A and B are shown apart, each in its own frame.
Chain A
């Protein structure tokens, strides 16, 4: 955390290598958050790149009092993901109307590359699919808690909601996810 703050300071003084180091340290984590939220590799890559562009432009507004740099970056990522969700909502409604037509092929699985399918494995693929069916507010809470392993106070900072709300969203998100998995026929062994 201290190293991040130092790199940010160097960045603000125009040190390009410090910025490169920050990108290398956080890019994988940001990409994974975006992927788990969208369920699409290309979208996740574009969004992650957008996150870094936004961070680069606004790094001067980062204050250590806000929390760690990683938490601040996660917050930027979350805001961008929510913006993206709202922006693409209309497309998804159109997609869901198309999905209601009798189409044999599953759009979600066909959009995924074969190597991606193999990488995920069957259970992982089902969990990822169930995750993208959660509402965005529950999904972000579950992703931050169960995938990014953030504690409640960090999630509270990222989502800008009280801790009680964080707990409630995580709880509801987990129960909803279990219900979706059960509907998909995935049961505990």
Chain B
């Protein structure tokens, strides 16, 4: 089939829309690939269509719909007086607005409380930005110091515990292990049935004294934790069996 440049121009849209018959399509392709005039034509038109289809859809001008409605249905009734107030309250009484307001209030209360504001004896001066900053800074420093001390004390306790185990030749992770009932009684080892030597008794007394001091310093250790830990040592035979 002989294909001309005029045919290419005439049937370009059909070609781009895929509406040509197979033999027409073949002839079109053959011609366009070898024609200096038609190759850029097809390329430029394809580019133009792509440019058109990439044009963004514009947003409506603000109030367009209201203007149309005013022009067709007439202006809406203007609400005044108490009706306007009620309409305003109805507008802000949505669950989303209420939730947002509550969240904001809760955040504000938390921040004020953290900054050291005394709710029992409130003072306006406490709400000044400088005082809020100072109070928050002081609280933050105190919390940091307490946490540092807490970590340090925990390390001391752990070191004492490790030392005790080391001195008695126990593995580091045997505290929770069940005792071996068939354990051989080697010379020099105790199983809690033999009386402790005076030296071991003295060391146990020292450790108890250390624990009491720690319990006084650390509020968290002064409660159940400390007694539970001591009890565990005692029930496990670490203190009672070995040092008494």
Question: Which A residues are within 8 Å of any B CB, using their own CB?
Answer: 16, 19-20, 23-24, 27-28, 31-32, 35-36, 41, 45, 48-49, 52-53, 56, 119-121, 123-124, 126-128, 130-131, 142, 146-147, 167, 170-171, 174-175, 177-179, 181-182, 186-188
Contact = CB atoms under 8 A, between A and B. Distances in A.
A41 B62 CA distance: 12
Given A23-B68, A171-B10, A171-B12, A178 B56 contact: no
Contacts of A171: 9-10, 12-13
B68 A127 contact: no
Interface string B43-62: 11111110111111111110
A28 B60 CA distance: 6
Nearest to A167: B13
B54 A23 contact: no
B196 interface: no
Contacts of B49: 146, 174
B64 A177 contact: no
A31 B64 contact: yes
Query: Chain B: interface secondary structure?
Result: helix
Given A119-B56, A188-B44, A27 B73 contact: no
Interface residues of B, number: 33
A16 B69 CA distance: 9
B53 A147 contact: yes
B56 A120 contact: yes
A188 B46 contact: yes
Contact of B57 (A28, A56, A175, A179): A28
B66 to A, nearest CB: 10
Nearest to A131: B52
A181 B49 CA distance: 11
A119 B68 contact: no
A41, A126, A174 interface centre (most CB from chain B within 10 Å) = A174
A60 B51 CA distance: 39
B12 A175 contact: yes
A175 B41 contact: yes
A31 B60 contact: yes
B54 A124 contact: yes
Contacts of B53: 146-147
11 contacts: A19-B69, A19-B73, A32-B57, A127-B54, A130-B48, A146-B52, A171-B13, A174-B45, A174-B49, A177-B45, A188-B47
